[in-house]
Chain A
């Protein structure tokens, strides 16, 4: 029987709540040192990504989120056995611990801002044309070609400048309540901002109120897609050197701890 992995939590005892995951299997915690890997048994690796399975995975992670700090694991992660799980936990232990500490008591919120790109561009063009009316120019083809290129450049530049200005304003509303954030500008012409914010639990009300404030700011044609609270999917940072311990003092501390834990885990798993 293989183990399907949902998340890593800052808890090393058994979960008291009954949670059922993929294939209707019981979800339980496998302790490793002072943290735990939440799994359920699964008969075979995940072959198909179905809406139902994804939602079941997410439901388990959200139930964990209610009681623990959780590092959500990507859908479809399966390990062969407990031994392999322990090996993985040992390799990633330091990463898991630092992420659990960083994300403790924090939630993720997503904000997508859609703006009327066509109207914004049309407005930019209108203003530029107005300015150009005062400028005399000859109509030679080469000069017109250069002018058209330059005009497109000016439009694009102004479009981006406007995007930057709006994103700055939006971020003023939300950013002050966030511990961390990731902002992506203009993924598409209309998707002005795709942002995720990491927010402390006791600031989530303020954060939600910020949405109301920005709605009241009344930018015509703007639409806001707000989602959350989520487990901190976007803020888990794993170093590429997982398992390769470099700092000597920290290395010794962690290796000591892992050795002690392995003894405990070995005793428990017999």
Chain B
């Protein structure tokens, strides 16, 4: 049961990172003085995200949990 909770948190975090760091309103131009330099880090996260399936393989049972439930 614990592993399911941990797994859902991990997957939820990956889903959050995927969205918060790479999606939504991305403002460009000289108005914005600083957008965090996340691209390199995100490159790493993409690898991490694709490894979800590996994690699933290792842990066996499928993760099925809406994000709200995972909190």
Taking Cβ atoms with an 8 Å cutoff, the residues of A that contact B are: 2, 5, 7-8, 45-49, 51, 54-55, 57-58, 61, 71-80, 84-85, 87-88, 91-92, 96, 110, 112, 114, 187-188, 190-191, 208, 211, 215, 223-231, 233-234, 236, 238
| Set of chain A residues within 8 Å of B33, measured between Cβ atoms | 2, 45, 78-80, 84
| Set of chain A residues within 8 Å of B58, measured between Cβ atoms | none
Other-chain contact of A114, B29, B31, B56, B66 (Cβ < 8 Å):
B56
| B35 A74 Cβ-Cβ under 8 A | yes
| A49 B32 Cβ-Cβ under 8 A | no
| B31 A233 Cβ-Cβ under 8 A | no
| A54 B50 Cβ-Cβ under 8 A | no
| B20 A208 Cβ-Cβ under 8 A | no
| B36 A227 Cβ-Cβ under 8 A | no
The 4 closest A-B pairs by CB, nearest first: A76-B36, A45-B34, A233-B23, A223-B62
Cα–Cα, bound, A8→B24 (Å): 10
| Set of chain A residues within 8 Å of B1, measured between Cβ atoms | none
| A234 B19 Cβ-Cβ under 8 A | yes
Taking Cβ atoms with an 8 Å cutoff, the residues of B that contact A are: 11-13, 15-17, 19-27, 29, 31-36, 38, 41, 50, 52-53, 56, 62-68, 70
**Minimum C-beta distance from A4 to chain B (A):** 10
| B21 A54 Cβ-Cβ under 8 A | yes
Closest chain B residue, CB of each to CB of A194? B49
Cα–Cα, bound, A77→B34 (Å): 6
| Set of chain B residues within 8 Å of A187, measured between Cβ atoms | 50
| Set of chain A residues within 8 Å of B66, measured between Cβ atoms | 208, 226-229
**Minimum C-beta distance from B69 to chain A (A):** 10
Closest chain B residue, CB of each to CB of A92? B27
| A88 B41 Cβ-Cβ under 8 A | no
| A191 B25 Cβ-Cβ under 8 A | no
| B32 A228 Cβ-Cβ under 8 A | no
Known pairs A45-B33, A61-B20, A77-B35 / 11 extra A-B pairs, C-beta < 8 Å: A51-B13, A58-B16, A72-B23, A73-B26, A74-B35, A87-B31, A88-B27, A91-B29, A190-B53, A225-B62, A227-B12
Cα–Cα, bound, A45→B37 (Å): 11
| Set of chain B residues within 8 Å of A49, measured between Cβ atoms | 21, 36, 38, 41
